[in-house]
Amino acid sequence: MARLVVVSNRVPIPDKDGVAPAGGLAVALQAALQERGGIWMGWSGKSSGSREPEMLSRRQQGNITYAVTDLTDTDVEEYYHGFANRVLWPICHYRLDLAEYGRKEMAGYFRVNRFFAQRLAPLIEPDDVIWVHDYHLIPLAAELRRIGLKNRIGFFLHIPWPSADVLVTMPVHEEIMRGLSHYDLLGFQTDHDLQNFAGYLTREGIGNDLGDGLFDSHGRTFKSAAYPIGIETAAFAELAGKASANILVRKARQSIEGRDLIIGVDRLDYSKGITQRLDAFERFITTNPAYQNKVTYLQITPKSRSEVPEYEQMQRMVAEQAGRVNGAIGTVDWVPIRYINRSSSRNVLAGLYRLATIGFVTPLRDGMNLVAKEYVAAQDPDRPGVLVLSRFAGAARELKGALLVNPYDVEGTANALARALTMSIEERRERWRGMMDHLLEHDVSRWCNDFLRDLTAKTAAAN
Ligand code: GDG
């Protein structure tokens, strides 16, 4: 079996005791790396100031070598905050209004990708299979090819691929596409992303859809398919079952005694639709006064990317909005919205999902959305809750038992909350069972194996 080399912007390096940061993606990729032996390379998350970072720092853990490099202040600003988070992220989430194109940032993005390739190339052996993750690293394969690497290289995009009309507003869309053409396999979250990709290539005359998942562009042929990412379903269900004994989960249960809990969990990000969700909750609770004092909406929102102004602004907006609703409709013994602006541990999160009658997951755009899948996996099979899910999350294409909503439609979303709270237990069980069976079958190990099977298959496009 060929060695595997995973490259991603950040690397979940285990601590000194060998404990890796939790999360399905890290667990699945680490399992694949342990089995095959290999390297996980990326940015350390640290800056070397104005000095050129000298060496890759490495740590060995079983069969896996973790290799990370620092970046200069300028690199971090241009590559990470600049192009990745202020251009690619908003464009792929349909927020043209937030994209800030700057030649400097675009150049920094390509420069850092070249730097990563230079640091990575000496570690690569001829038979290694390389798997690159996400929008930060699109040009990496082209840079590795420039150095002369002929290895199989695959790319998986965790975020949406937007429609052609949106994508072409980005001045360097052709360079981005040229970068993608150097991979042997491109993976997207959903068929919808894949269709957008094929549509973009053919409509802009940049490439051809050759059928059977094969495409050509910039003189190269490559394969492309949808690989919807999953979670560690069985392990997460078990974690949620056990978490009811956790002291924080017990306290939470006591504090909502006699009320239904609605839960939202998102990084603080404009793509997650948090303000629209608060609007929908406010609409629901003001138009259904019988539910006042009968439901609590818990929104857990760890801070993210606070260096980007839009994120800092959003943090203020959400806090103000929650405060305003609580001030307007709360009572001496009832706080309608509990807003937590910090991260919770994974098992507390699992326990809270299980306590909640509604999982409220309403992104304006999302590649997949793992929270929706985790909420389903965490439910008690006898009394499962209801998932209220945005039709614009990749997960909506799989989770057919959810109540699908359009998050821009405040009234419709508010009505879905009312419907979920009055749904019979039989219907709740039936909807949940179908989703849970799907998630058990399509878990994150399957996602990882399917992608690697296709990347290493003999039929993959040979260039
Ligand atoms: C990108 C794509 C795609 C959140 N708060 C806490 C916490 N979390 C965990 C959740 C979940 C993860 O973070 C978030 O995953 P999502 O999928 O919801 O969203 P992104 O971070 O935007 O991820 C997305 C994903 O990549 C995978 O391909 O699905 O579309 O945008 O696992 O549980 N975890 C803990 N405490 C928190 O407070 N422990």
Do 270 and 148 have their domain in common? no
Atom of ligand 1 nearest to the CA of 272: 22
pLDDT of residue 222: 97
pLDDT of residue 24: 62
* Phi and psi at residue 277, to the nearest 5°: -70, -40
Placement of tokens 């997960």 in the chain: 395
Q: Which of 93, 136, 158, 182 is catalytic?
A: 158
pLDDT of residue 115: 97
Q: Helix H segments across 102-232?
A: 103-120, 140-147, 164-167, 173-180, 191-203
Residue 238 lies in a domain: yes
Supply the residue whose CA is at minimum distance from atom 32 of ligand 1. Answer: 370
Residue 452 lies in a domain: no
CA of 428 to the centre of ligand 1 (A): 25
Residue 451 lies in a domain: no
Do 218 and 238 have their domain in common? no
Residue 456 lies in a domain: no
pLDDT (average), residues 315-339: 94
Do 169 and 247 have their domain in common? no
CA of 210 to the centre of ligand 1 (A): 35
pLDDT (average), residues 302-323: 84
Domain span at residue 40 reads 4-226
Do 173 and 282 have their domain in common? no
Placement of tokens 């909807």 in the chain: 431
> Which residue among 199, 226, 253 closes a domain?
226
Residue 462 lies in a domain: no
ipTM of this predicted structure: 0.99
10-43 pLDDT, tens digit each? 998 877 766 666 666 787 788 889 889 999 999 9
**C-beta of 146 in contact with ligand 1 (< 6 A):** no
**C-beta of 367 in contact with ligand 1 (< 6 A):** yes
Type of residue numbered 88: L
CA of 297 to the centre of ligand 1 (A): 19
**C-beta of 243 in contact with ligand 1 (< 6 A):** no
158 is catalytic: yes
Is the pLDDT reported for residue 90 higher than 70? yes
CA of 331 to the centre of ligand 1 (A): 33
Residue 391 lies in a domain: yes
- Give the pLDDT band of residue 310 (cuts 50, 70, 90): confident
Residue from 370, 374, 397, 439 whose mutation best tests the ligand 1 pocket (most atoms within 8 A of CB): 370
Q: Which of 252, 263, 255 is nearest to 376 (CA)?
A: 263
Written as six digits, the tokens of 196 are 């957008």
Do 181 and 287 have their domain in common? no
Residue 449 lies in a domain: no
Q: Around Cβ 446, how many Cβ atoms within 10 Å?
A: 17
- For the chain, the straight-line distance linking the first and the last C-alpha, in angstroms and rounded, comes to 21
Do 158 and 64 have their domain in common? yes
- pLDDT over 90 percentage in the chain: 85
CA of 418 to the centre of ligand 1 (A): 26
Residue 108 lies in a domain: yes
Total domains in the fold of the chain:
2
pLDDT of residue 19: 66
Do 9 and 49 have their domain in common? yes
pLDDT of residue 25: 79
pLDDT of residue 108: 97
**C-beta of 364 in contact with ligand 1 (< 6 A):** no
Residue from 132, 368, 387, 399 whose mutation best tests the ligand 1 pocket (most atoms within 8 A of CB): 368
**Mean pLDDT for the chain overall:** 94
Supply the residue whose CA is at minimum distance from atom 26 of ligand 1. Answer: 158
356-388 pLDDT, tens digit each? 999 999 999 999 999 999 999 999 999 999 999
Phi/psi region, residue 45 (left: phi>0; alpha: psi -120 to 50; beta: rest), is left
> Which residue among 209, 226, 243 closes a domain?
226
Determine contact, residues 162/169, Cβ cutoff 8 Å.
Answer: no
How many degrees, rounded to 5, is the angle at CA 119 between CA 113 and CA 120?
A: 85
Atom of ligand 1 nearest to the CA of 22: 39
Is the pLDDT reported for residue 419 higher than 80? yes
d(CA 174, CA 182): 13
328-362 pLDDT, tens digit each? 999 999 999 999 998 899 999 999 999 999 999 99
Order across the sheet with 38-47: list the strands.
Answer: 57-61, 64-71, 38-47, 4-10, 129-133, 152-156, 185-188, 220-226, 214-217, 207-211
Buried b (16+ CB within 10 A) or exposed e, 91-124: bbbbbeebbeeeeebbebbbbbbbbbbebbeeeb
**C-beta of 159 in contact with ligand 1 (< 6 A):** yes
Placement of tokens 């360097």 in the chain: 172
Placement of tokens 């032996």 in the chain: 37
Do 192 and 240 have their domain in common? no
- Give the pLDDT band of residue 104 (cuts 50, 70, 90): very high
pLDDT of residue 138: 98
**C-beta of 201 in contact with ligand 1 (< 6 A):** no
- Give the pLDDT band of residue 461 (cuts 50, 70, 90): low
Determine contact, residues 329/335, Cβ cutoff 8 Å.
Answer: no
Atom of ligand 1 nearest to the CA of 346: 39
> In this structure, what CATH number is given to the domain that contains residue 170?
3.40.50.2000
Is the pLDDT reported for residue 58 higher than 90? no
Do 192 and 265 have their domain in common? no
CA of 126 to the centre of ligand 1 (A): 34
Q: Cβ neighbours of residue 199 under 8 Å, at least 6 residues apart? A: 163, 164
Do 169 and 299 have their domain in common? no
133 is catalytic: no
Q: pTM of this prediction?
A: 0.96
pLDDT of residue 23: 64
pLDDT of residue 130: 98
d(CA 304, CA 462): 40
Atom of ligand 1 nearest to the CA of 371: 18
> Which residue among 194, 226, 258 closes a domain?
226
Atom of ligand 1 nearest to the CA of 229: 28
Is the pLDDT reported for residue 458 higher than 70? no
**C-beta of 231 in contact with ligand 1 (< 6 A):** no
- Residue 81 per-residue DSSP state: I
- pLDDT over 70 percentage in the chain: 97
Determine contact, residues 39/73, Cβ cutoff 8 Å.
Answer: no
pLDDT of residue 238: 97
pLDDT of residue 97: 94
pLDDT of residue 421: 98
Supply the residue whose CA is at minimum distance from atom 37 of ligand 1. Answer: 343
131-159 pLDDT, tens digit each? 999 999 999 999 999 999 999 999 999 99
Supply the residue whose CA is at minimum distance from atom 21 of ligand 1. Answer: 267
d(CA 405, CA 418): 13
Determine contact, residues 351/244, Cβ cutoff 8 Å.
Answer: yes
pLDDT (average), residues 262-268: 95
CA of 124 to the centre of ligand 1 (A): 30
pLDDT of residue 27: 77
CA of 119 to the centre of ligand 1 (A): 29
CA of 372 to the centre of ligand 1 (A): 10
Do 239 and 222 have their domain in common? no
Do 218 and 241 have their domain in common? no
pLDDT (average), residues 195-215: 95
Is the pLDDT reported for residue 401 higher than 90? yes
Placement of tokens 């056990």 in the chain: 242
Atom of ligand 1 nearest to the CA of 366: 30
Is the pLDDT reported for residue 463 higher than 60? no
Is the pLDDT reported for residue 446 higher than 70? yes
Written as six digits, the tokens of 230 are 């999953």
Q: Which of 279, 366, 443, 454 is catalytic?
A: 366
- Give the pLDDT band of residue 459 (cuts 50, 70, 90): low
